[in-house]
Amino acid sequence: MRVISGERKGHPLKAVPGHSTRPTTDKIKESIFNMIGPYFDGGLGLDLYGGSGSLGIEALSRGLDRMIFVDKEMKAIQTIKTNLAACRYEEQTEVYRNEALRALKALKKRDLQFNLVLLDPPYAREKIVQDIEMLLDFSLLDRNVVIMVEHDPSANVPDHIGELLKTKEERYGNTTQVSIYAFASDLEKEEA
């Protein structure tokens, strides 16, 4: 595993020890960032199921200003911190050990709005619609937000969630699908 592009291109990243997380392959990660970027002009990101931190670190390398990482597993938190230190991103990041819903409730109190949200939950325990509805309910999304969801192809991922519209989706074999969401009203204005 490595950083694919940007200021930390080629930098190796550690995976979370054990089998509790499923790392995103470099090939899929590159494809994801081609769909959502590939580069960013600043902004604040949220990696809600951080795992190794690979996706959030990639976003930072490609120009995002700040990233908040959340994971409930201690091994994942330790791996994220190790990878952030190796990439010298500690100053631009916050790392929290918490369950997703509790983390969103805590973030609501801070009056933040995210430009990029990365959702790559464990496939067996996906709550994608619930997570996105909470982000909407808590007003945590900038109007120009891009939400990337990596999920099992069999997961029920609707075309609309509240005001958000699925703008792209890509399937990678039988094991992984990526869906991208953005605010529908803004997309309709751009197309007009």
Q: In the 8-state DSSP scheme, what is residue 94?
A: E
Q: State the CB neighbour count (10 A cutoff) for residue 99.
A: 11
Domain 26-191, CATH 3.90.1150.10 — does that match? no
Instruction: Tell me the two tokens of residue 68.
Output: 């908040």
- Say how many CA atoms lie within 13 Å of 158 toward its Cβ: 11
- For the chain, the domains span 26-191
Q: What is the pLDDT of residue 136?
A: 97
- pLDDT tens, per residue, the chain with 192 residues: 999 999 999 999 999 988 767 778 888 999 999 999 899 999 999 999 999 999 999 999 999 999 999 999 999 999 999 999 999 999 999 999 999 999 999 999 999 999 999 999 887 667 899 999 999 999 999 999 999 999 988 887 899 999 999 999 999 888 889 999 999 875 554 444
Is the separation of the CB atoms in 70 and 49 below 8 Å? yes
Is the separation of the CB atoms in 36 and 167 below 8 Å? no
Distance between CA atoms of 145 and 181, rounded to whole angstroms? 8
Distance between CA atoms of 5 and 152, rounded to whole angstroms? 26
**Which of helix, strand or coil describes residue 55?**
helix
Q: What is the pLDDT of residue 23?
A: 75
Q: What is the DSSP string of 103-161?
A: HHHHHHTTT--EEEEEE---GGG--HHHHHHHHHHTT-EEEEEEEEEEE-TTS---SEE
Q: Which single residue is written with the structure tokens 């074999």?
A: 173
Is the separation of the CB atoms in 69 and 56 below 8 Å? yes
